[in-house]
Each structure stands twice: as C-alpha cells, then as structure tokens.
Amino acid sequence: MNLDHTLKLEIPFEDAKQANIAVDVLKPDPILRPQDFQVSYKARDNVFVAEFESIDDRVLRVGVSNVIDSLKTIIETMDELS
C-alpha cells in the first residue's frame, strides 16, 4: 500500500526559537506503525511545518490529532512558563 494520503500543517510561532523547540520536542518519539504512517517535522524561520503521509484517512486523522494534542501542550507551556 502506498502512503498516498498526505497533509501538511504550518503553524506560525512567535519566533524561530519557539518553532525549533516544537520540532525538537516532537521529533524523538518513534512512530508505532511506520509502514502505515510517516511524519516529518521542520522549522522554517518562525513557522513549524509538519508533513504527514499515511495509508488511509482514518490513520491520518488519528496521527494528526495526536500531534495536535502534543502541540497544544507545547504551546501552553511556552505561554505559561517561559
């Protein structure tokens, strides 16, 4: 099966440092089923970019929603604790 269901998320942060922190925080965690789902993170200046590839809509939705949940924690932490 091809990973032909894709989605690209672009999230602007206040500055490049914050965007890079988001990338570094998300990057270490392994993907549970790499044959079904792939994700890459990068920072372009202050913009956080996540690109997802998946075998179907359902896996894509679950994977993206998990990343968004984590991003919410990261953003709240930056807002409250930096």
Partner 1 sequence: MVNLNTIPPKNNREYYIAIGLEGSANKLGVGVVKHPRLASHQSGDNSHICKAEILSNIRDTYITPPGEGFLPRDTARHHRNWVTRIIKRAIKEAKLTDPKLDIDVICFTKGPGMGAPLHSVVIAARTISLLWDVPLIGVNHCVGHIEMGREITKAENPVVLYVSGGNTQVIAYSENRYRIFGETLDVAIGNCLDRFARTLKISNAPSPGYNIEQLAKQCKNKDRLIQLPYTVKGMDLSMSGILAYIDSLAKDLFKENKKNKLLFDQETGEGLVTVEDLCYSLQENLFAMLVEITERAMAHVNASQVLIVGGVGSNVRLQEMMAQMCRDRANGRVHATDERFCIDNGVMIAQAGLLQYRMGDVIKDLKDTVVTQKFRTDEVYVSWRE
What single DSSP character describes residue 4?
-
Question: Measured from the CB atom, is 6 or 77 closer to partner 1?
Answer: 77
Question: Measured from the CB atom, is 40 or 70 closer to partner 1?
Answer: 70
State in angstroms the smallest separation of the CB of 79 from partner 1: 8
State in angstroms the smallest separation of the CB of 65 from partner 1: 11
**Cα 74 to chain centroid, rounded:** 11
State in angstroms the smallest separation of the CB of 52 from partner 1: 18
- What are the Cα distances from residue 51, in Å, to 40, 63, 65? 5, 11, 13
Question: Measured from the CB atom, is 27 or 44 closer to partner 1?
Answer: 27
User: Which run of H or E residues covers position 9?
Assistant: strand 5-12
Pairwise CA distance, residues 15 & 12, whole Å: 8
Q: Which residues bind partner 1 (CB under 8 A)?
A: 21, 24-30, 69-70, 72-74, 76-78, 80-82
